[in-house]
Amino acid sequence: MYGSRGVGAFAGRRASAVVLGAALLITGCSSGDGDGEEDGRGEAAGAGITQQPKENDPFWVNPDGLSARKVAELRQDGKETEAEQIRKIAEQPVAEWISPENPEEQARDHTEGAEKAERTALLVLYNIPHRDCGQYSQGGAPDGDAYRDFVDGVARGIGDRSATVILEPDAVLHLVDGCTPEQFHEERYDLLSGAVAKLKGLKNTKVYLDAGNAGWGNPDQIFDPLKRAGIDQADGFSVNVSNFYSTEDSIAYGKQLSAKVGDKPFVIDTSRNGNGPYTEGAPDERWCNPPGRALGETPTVKTADPLVDAYLWIKRPGESDGECKGGPQAGQWWEAYALELAKGSS
- Give the CA angle between residues 169, 331, 124 to the nearest 5°: 35
pLDDT band at 139 (very low <50, low <70, confident <90, very high): confident
Q: Which range has the worst mean pLDDT, 3-17, 37-51, 292-306? A: 3-17
Task: Please name the residues in contact with 37: beta carbons below 8 A apart, sequence gap of 6 or more.
Answer: none
Please state the rounded mean pLDDT for residues 307-331. Answer: 95
d(CA 295, CA 345): 5
- Structure-model confidence comparison of residues 42 and 136, the more confident one: 136
Q: Is the whole model's pTM more than 0.85, yes or no?
A: yes
pLDDT at 134: 62
Please state the rounded mean pLDDT for residues 279-295. Answer: 92
- Averaged confidence pLDDT in the chain: 87
- Alpha helix (H) ranges present in 28-102? 66-76, 80-90
Instruction: Kindly state the percentage of the chain with pLDDT values over 90.
Output: 79
d(CA 223, CA 55): 32
User: Distances from the Cα of 8 to the Cαs of 179, 184, 203, in angstroms?
Assistant: 12, 19, 33
pLDDT at 221: 95
User: Distances from the Cα of 178 to the Cαs of 99, 144, 151, 186, in angstroms?
Assistant: 26, 20, 26, 14
Interval 13-56: pLDDT, tens: 323 233 333 333 322 332 233 333 323 333 334 478 999 999 99
Interval 64-99: pLDDT, tens: 999 999 999 999 999 999 999 999 999 999 999 999
Question: Would you call 160 exposed, middle or buried from its count of C-beta atoms within 10 A (0-12, 13-18, 19+)?
Answer: exposed
Tell me which residues are annotated as active site: 132, 170, 321
Please state the rounded mean pLDDT for residues 175-181. Answer: 92
d(CA 54, CA 320): 29
Interval 187-217: pLDDT, tens: 999 999 999 999 999 999 999 999 999 998 8
DSSP lists the bridge partners of residue 311 as 268, 300
pLDDT at 22: 31
Q: Decide: 345 and 294 in contact? Cβ < 8 Å.
A: yes
Instruction: Kindly state the percentage of the chain with pLDDT values over 70.
Output: 85
